[in-house]
C-alpha cells in the first residue's frame, strides 16, 4: 500500500459527539490529492442546539444548516467516498467518535475502518509547543488554511501526513506508522465483537484516563468551567495539577485562546511566553486550548476496549429482547420490527433511569433511540444491538441485514 488514504474532519454543533454539522474529506492517491467531499449536516433532534462556543470556533449556525440534509441522506455518499481506505484525522479520536456517534444516533451500524492520527504522529516526530493543526502545519510548511472549515482542515491534515512521510523518507502509510511507532486503530473489528460479547448487564463504570500521568497547569479565564472544577477533572482523569508552570509541567491549558485563535505568531501572555521558552529549552511541555482540554477528557476507543476486555463476563441480554422479536420481520418493514424488538417494554426513559447495560443514569435529553431502549448512549446502544443479534440467532429468529437507519 502506498500513500493512499482519506483525510476526514467533522465539526459539531455542540459538545455532543452526535451533533455533526459539517464534514469534509479529502482522498489521496499515490501521495496526491485527487478528490474532495464536503457537506453541511442538519444535526439530529436532541443534538441540534448550536452552542455559542462551537459557533464561535467554526462559524456554522442553525440557520446555515436549516435546509441541509440529515446524516442518513449524507452517509451513503460519504461511505462510498471513504471506500476501504485508511482514515486519517488530526485528533482522529474526535472525528471517529463523531462518525460513530452520529451513526448511532440514527441507528446506522458502525463502519469498520483503520484510523491513523496525525496528531499522534506529530507528537512522535516533532518537538513543538503545540500540536494543534495550525502549529503542525506551519512547522511543516503546509500552506495556511481556514482552521475549522472541515474541508480545509481535512486538506491540511492530508498535507501534514504527506510532509511527515517525506521527512521520514517512507512511501506508505503503513511504513510511516511503523517508523514512528504509532500504529493505526480500528473503529470496529471481530475482536471488538468478541469483547462486547463478554459484557453483562452488571455495572460497568467507565472512567476516562485522558490525563493519566500528566502534570497540568491552567492560565487565563476558562469559559466552559471554573478552574477548581477543571482541576478536579484532571485528578479524576488520572493526572495532577499545579498553580504555575514549572519544569515538571507537561500540559498548559490556556483559556485566553480557542482553537481558531491559538496560532503561531499570536501575542501571548507572560505565562504562555515562559512555557514557550521552556519548550525551546527541551522540556516536553504541550500547550493546548480549553476546547482541546475538554476533547481530551473523552475516553478513547482503545481505553473503552481495555475496560471491556477486563470485564471477563458472559453476555446477558434481557429476555424481552427475544420475546418482543416474535418470529422476525415476517416480510414487513424491517426497521419497524427491529426498533419495536429493541424498545424497552416499560416505554421510553423519562430521565435518571439506569442504563440497562452500564447503570449510568439516562439523561432526560438523551437521543430518543437511547431513551426508547433505556441505554445511556451510543456505546451501550451498540452493545444492546450486537447482543440482541446474537440472542436472536441463538433463538432461530432471522435477522435481516441492516446497514442504515432512518
Question: Of the candidates 257, 179, 189, 196, which has an alpha carbon nearest to the alpha carbon of residue 222?
Answer: 257
* 259 phi and psi angles, rounded to 5 deg: -65, -20
pLDDT at 61 over 60: yes
Average of per-residue pLDDT across 116-141 = 92
Distance CA(139)–CA(159), nearest Å, equals: 12
Share of the chain above pLDDT 90, in %: 34
Q: Which of 191-205, 294-308, 374-388 has the lowest mean pLDDT?
A: 191-205
Domain 5-188 coded CATH 3.30.420.10: yes
Instruction: Give the residue with greater pLDDT, 13 vs 108.
Output: 13
Question: Of the candidates 285, 289, 262, which has an alpha carbon nearest to the alpha carbon of residue 275?
Answer: 285
pLDDT of residue 160: 96
pLDDT of residue 331: 66
Q: Which of 152-161, 279-288, 330-339 has the lowest mean pLDDT?
A: 330-339
Distance CA(258)–CA(376), nearest Å, equals: 30
Residue with the three cell numbers 470485564 = 311
Average of per-residue pLDDT across 191-195 = 52
- The model's pLDDT over 145-189, given as tens digits with 9 standing for 90+, comes to 888 899 999 999 999 999 999 999 999 999 999 999 998 887 765
* Residue 120 vs residues 51, 173, 185, 245, 360: alpha-carbon distances, Å: 28, 14, 12, 24, 31
pLDDT of residue 332: 64
Average of per-residue pLDDT across 279-301 = 77
8 A C-beta contact, residue 69 and residue 39: yes
pLDDT of residue 137: 93
8 A C-beta contact, residue 329 and residue 337: yes
The fold of 215-296 is: Rossmann fold (3.40.50)
pLDDT of residue 207: 40
Q: Which of 12-16, 229-233, 331-335, 369-373 has the lowest mean pLDDT?
A: 331-335
Domain ranges of the chain: 5-188, 215-296, 319-394
Distance CA(237)–CA(287), nearest Å, equals: 18
Q: Which of 8-22, 346-360, 374-388 has the lowest mean pLDDT?
A: 374-388
Mean of per-residue pLDDT scores for the chain: 82
Instruction: Give the residue with greater pLDDT, 8 vs 391.
Output: 8
Average of per-residue pLDDT across 203-226 = 71
Residue with the three cell numbers 491552567 = 218
Distance CA(74)–CA(17), nearest Å, equals: 17
Reported confidence tier of residue 303, pLDDT bands at 50, 70, 90: very low
Residue with the three cell numbers 441507528 = 107
- Answer positive or negative: Cα dihedral of 362, 364, 368, 371: positive
8 A C-beta contact, residue 219 and residue 253: yes
371 CB-side CA count, 13 A: 14
Instruction: Give the residue with greater pLDDT, 79 vs 197.
Output: 79
8 A C-beta contact, residue 44 and residue 16: no
SS (H, E, C) the chain: CCCCEEEEEEEECCCCCCCEEEEEEEEEECCEEEEEEEEECCCCCCCCCCCHHHHHHHCCCHHHHCCCCCHHHHHHHHHHHHCCCCEEECCHHHHHHHHHHHHHHCCCCCCCCEEEEHHHHHHHHCCCCCCCHHHHHHHCCCCCCCCCCHHHHHHHHHHHHHHHHHHHCCCCHHHHHHHCCCCCEECCCHHHHHHHHCCCCCCCCCCCCCCCCCEEEEECCCCCCCHHHHHHHHHHCCCEEECCCCCCCCEEEECCCCCCCCCCCCCCCHHHHHHHHHHHCCCCCEEEEHHHHHHHCCCCHHHHHHHHHHHCCCCCCCHHHHHCCCCCCCCCCHHHHHHHHHCCCCCCCCCCCECCCCCCECCCCCCHHHHHHCCCCHHHHHHHHHHHHHHHHHCCCCCCCCCCCC
Whole-structure pTM over 0.75, yes or no? no
pLDDT of residue 189: 54
Amino acid at each position: 500500500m502506498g500513500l493512499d488514504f482519506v483525510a476526514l474532519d467533522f465539526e459539531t454543533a455542540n459538545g455532543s459527539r452526535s451533533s455533526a454539522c459539517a464534514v469534509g474529506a479529502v482522498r489521496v492517491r499515490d501521495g496526491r490529492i485527487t478528490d474532495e467531499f464536503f457537506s453541511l449536516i442538519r444535526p439530529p433532534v436532541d443534538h441540534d442546539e448550536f452552542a455559542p462556543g462551537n459557533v464561535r470556533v467554526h462559524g456554522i449556525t442553525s440557520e446555515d444548516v436549516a435546509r441541509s440534509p440529515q446524516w442518513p441522506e449524507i452517509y451513503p455518499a460519504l461511505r462510498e467516498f471513504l471506500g476501504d481506505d485508511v482514515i486519517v484525522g488530526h485528533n482522529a479520536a474526535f472525528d471517529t467518535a463523531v462518525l460513530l456517534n452520529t451513526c448511532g444516533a440514527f441507528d446506522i451500524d458502525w463502519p469498520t475502518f483503520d484510523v491513523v492520527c496525525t496528531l499522534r504522529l506529530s507528537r512522535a516526530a516533532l518537538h513543538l509547543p503545540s500540536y494543534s493543526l495550525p502549529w503542525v502545519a506551519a512547522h511543516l510548511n503546509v500552506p495556511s488554511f481556514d482552521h475549522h472549515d472541515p474541508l480545509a482542515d481535512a486538506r491540511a491534515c492530508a498535507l501534514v501526513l504527506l510532509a511527515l512521510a517525506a521527512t521520514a523518507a517512507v512511501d506508505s502509510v503503513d511504513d510511516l506508522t511503523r517508523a514512528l511507532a504509532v500504529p493505526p486503530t480500528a473503529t470496529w473489528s471481530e475482536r471488538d465483537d468478541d469483547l462486547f460479547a463478554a459484557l453483562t448487564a452488571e455495572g460497568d463504570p467507565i472512567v476516562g484516563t485522558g490525563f493519566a500521568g500528566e502534570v497540568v497547569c491552567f492560565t487565563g479565564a476558562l469559559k466552559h468551567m471554573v478552574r477548581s472544577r477543571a482541576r478536579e477533572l484532571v485528578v479524576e482523569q488520572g493526572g495532577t495539577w499545579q498553580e504555575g508552570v514549572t519544569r515538571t509541567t507537561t500540559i498548559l491549558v490556556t483559556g485566553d485562546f480557542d482553537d481558531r485563535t491559538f496560532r503561531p505568531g499570536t501575542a501571548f501572555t507572560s505565562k504562555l511566553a515562559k512555557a514557550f521558552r521552556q519548550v525551546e529549552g527541551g522540556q516536553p511541555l504541550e500547550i493546548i486550548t480549553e476546547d482541546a482540554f475538554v476533547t481530551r477528557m473523552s475516553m478513547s476507543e482503545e481505553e473503552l476496549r481495555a475496560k471491556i476486555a477486563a470485564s471477563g463476563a458472559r453476555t446477558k441480554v434481557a429476555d424481552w429482547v427475544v420475546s418482543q422479536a416474535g418470529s422476525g420481520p415476517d416480510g414487513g418493514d424491517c426497521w419497524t420490527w427491529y426498533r419495536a424488538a429493541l424498545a424497552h417494554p416499560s416505554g421510553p426513559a423519562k430521565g435518571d433511569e439506569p442504563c440497562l447495560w452500564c447503570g449510568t443514569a439516562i439523561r432526560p435529553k438523551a437521543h430518543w433511540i437511547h431513551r426508547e431502549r433505556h441505554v445511556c448512549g451510543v456505546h451501550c446502544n451498540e452493545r444492546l444491538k450486537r447482543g440482541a443479534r446474537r440472542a436472536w440467532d441463538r433463538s432461530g429468529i432471522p435477522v435481516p441485514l441492516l446497514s442504515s437507519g432512518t
